[in-house]
A and B are shown apart, each in its own frame.
Chain A
Amino acid sequence: MKTLITNVAVYTMTSDPFRGEVLLEDGIIKKIAYRIKEDFDEMIDGNGGMLMPGFIDAHSHIGLNPDGYGYEYDDVNEISDPVTASVRSQDGFTVLDKSIAESARGGVMIYCVLTGSANPVGGLSFIAHYSKSNLVRDFVIKEDNGLKMATGENPKRCYGDKKKAPATRMATAAIIRKFLIDGQNYMQKKAKSAEEGKEFVETDYKKEIAQMILEKKIPARVHCHRAEDILTALRIKKEFGIDMVIEHCTEYMKVKDEIKAAGVPILLGPVMSSRSKVELKDMSFESYKVACDEGILFGCMSDHPVFPAEVLRLQAGMAVNYGACEKKMLESLTLMPAKILGIDSEYGSIEEGKKATLCIWNGHPFDSRSHVVWNSVDGFIK
Chain B
Amino acid sequence: MKLFKNGYVWHNSEIRKADFTVEDGKFVKIEAEIVPSQLCETIDFSGKYVYPGMVDAHTHVGIFEECTGWTAGDDVNETSSPATPGMRAIDAINPLDPGIESARNSGFTTVCVLPGSANVIGGEGVVIKTAGTVVDKMVVHTEKKIIKLAFGWNPVWFWGSQDKSPKTRLAVSALLREKLTAAKNYMKKEEKEYDYDMENLSALLKKEAIARIHVANLEDIETIGRVAKEFDFDYVLDHATALHTNPEFAKSLEVPVILGPLNVAGKSFQTYDLTFNSVKILHDAGLKLSVMTDAPVIPLNLAKIQMWLIDRLRMDRADIIDMFTINPAAVLGLDKKIGSIEEGKDADFFVSTGDIFDYTTKIEHTYIEGIRVGGEE
Q: Contact between A203 and B185 (Cβ–Cβ < 8 Å)?
A: yes
A78 lies within 8 A of chain B by Cβ? yes
Residue of A nearest to B175 (CB): A86
Q: Is there contact, CB below 8 Å, between A92 and B181?
A: no
Give the distance in Å from the alpha carbon of A73 to the alpha carbon of B181 in the complex. Answer: 27
What is the CA–CA distance of A162 and B189 in the complex, to the nearest angstrom? 39
B223 touching A81 by the CB < 8 A rule?
no
Among B163, B171, B245, contact of A84 (Cβ-Cβ < 8 Å): B171
Q: Assuming the A-B contacts A94-B217, A203-B185, are A134 and B165 also in contact, with contact meaning beta carbons closer than 8 angstroms in the complex?
A: no
Question: Cβ of B308 < 8 Å from any Cβ of A?
Answer: no
Q: What's the count of A-B pairs with C-beta under 8 Å? A: 93
B165 and A80 form a contact (CB under 8 A): yes
Interface residues on B, range: 20 to 34
B70 at the binding interface (Cβ < 8 Å):
no
Interface membership of A290, Cβ < 8 A: no
With contacts A72-B269, A136-B222, A205-B178 known, is A92 near B153, CB below 8 A? no
- B166: CB under 8 A from chain A? yes
- Tell me the complex Cα distance, A137–B246, Å: 13
| Bound complex: CA A72 to CA B219 (Å) | 14
Instruction: Given the known inter-chain contacts A80-B165, A80-B171, A134-B246, please indicate yes or no for A206 contacting B153, CB distance below 8 A.
Output: no
Contact B167 A137 (CB under 8 A): no
Complex Cα distance A79/B159, Å?
A: 12
Asked whether B169 is an interface residue with its Cβ less than 8 Å from the other chain, the reply is yes
Q: Are B172 and A91 in contact (CB under 8 A)?
A: yes
A135 to B217 Cα, complex, angstroms: 11
- Chain A residues within an 8 Å CB radius of B217: 94
Distance of A133 Cα from B217 Cα, bound (Å): 15
Q: Are B167 and A134 touching (Cβ within 8 A)?
A: no
- Are the C-beta atoms of A135 and B171 separated by less than 8 Å? no
Bound together, the chains give a CA A79 to CA B223 distance in angstroms of 21
A115 to B167, CA, bound (A): 13
Q: Which of A122-152 contact B (CB under 8 A)?
A: 123, 133-137
CB neighbours of A133 from chain B (8 A): 246
Contact of A267 with B by CB under 8 A: no
Within 8 A of B (CB), among A198-218: 199, 201-206
Q: Mark B322-355, 1 if CB is under 8 A from A, else 0.
A: 0000000000000000000000000000000000
Most buried by B among A80, A84, A133: A80
When chains A and B are docked, how far (Å) is the Cα of A206 from the Cα of B181?
Answer: 10
Q: Report B201 CB to chain A, min CB distance, Å.
A: 13
Q: How far is the CA of A78 from the CA of B169 in the complex (A)?
A: 9
A89-103, CB < 8 A from B: 89-95
Q: Main secondary structure on chain B at its contact with chain A?
A: helix
Chain A's closest residue to B157 (CB) is: A72
A206 lies within 8 A of B169 (CB): no
Chain A residues lying within 8 Å of B189, measured Cβ to Cβ, are 201
A76, A95, A162, A206: the one contacting B168 at CB < 8 Å is A76
Contacts of B181 in A (CB 8 A): 203-205
Chain B residue with Cβ nearest A85: B174
In the complex, A215 Cα to B263 Cα: how many Å? 53
Residues from chain B with a CB closer than 8 A to the CB of A89 are: 170
Is B218 located at the chain interface by the 8 A CB criterion?
A: yes
Chain A residues near B223 (CB, 8 Å)? Answer: 90-91, 136
CB-CB under 8 A from B37, the residues of chain A are none
Question: What chain B residues lie within 8 Å of A94 (beta carbons)?
Answer: 217, 219
Contacts of A135 in B (CB 8 A): 218, 222, 246, 249
Q: Does A202 contact B185, Cβ atoms closer than 8 Å?
A: yes
| Shortest Cβ distance from A63 into B: residue | B219
A73 adjacent to B170 (CB under 8 Å): no
Q: Are B169 and A75 in contact (CB under 8 A)?
A: yes
- Chain A residues with CB under 8 A of B218: 95, 134-135
Contact B167 A199 (CB under 8 A): no
A72-B269, A205-B178, A205-B181 as given contacts; A137 in contact with B222, CB under 8 Å: yes
Cβ A88 vs Cβ B164 within 8 A:
no
Do the beta carbons of A87 and B184 come within 8 Å of each other?
A: no
Interface centre among A77, A84, A199 (most CB of B within 10 A): A84
Other-chain contact of B177, A79, A86, A137 (Cβ < 8 Å): A86
Assess A86 versus B246: contact at CB under 8 Å? Given A72-B153, A95-B219: no
Cross-chain contact A69 with B169 (CB below 8 angstroms):
no
A92-B174 in contact (CB<8A): no
The reply to whether A75 and B178 contact each other, CB–CB distance below 8 Å, is no
Determine the chain A residues whose CB is within 8 A of the CB of B12 once the complex forms: none
Say whether B165 contacts A86, CB under 8 Å: no
Task: Return chain B residues, CB-CB under 8 Å to A77.
Answer: 167-168
Q: Would you call A74 an interface residue if the criterion is a C-beta within 8 Å of the partner chain's C-beta atoms?
A: yes
Extra A-B contacts (7), CB below 8 Å, given A69-B269, A204-B181: A78-B170, A78-B174, A80-B167, A81-B165, A88-B174, A162-B163, A206-B178
What are the 4 tightest A-B residue pairs by CB atom distance, in nearest-first order?
A80-B165, A87-B170, A86-B174, A75-B168
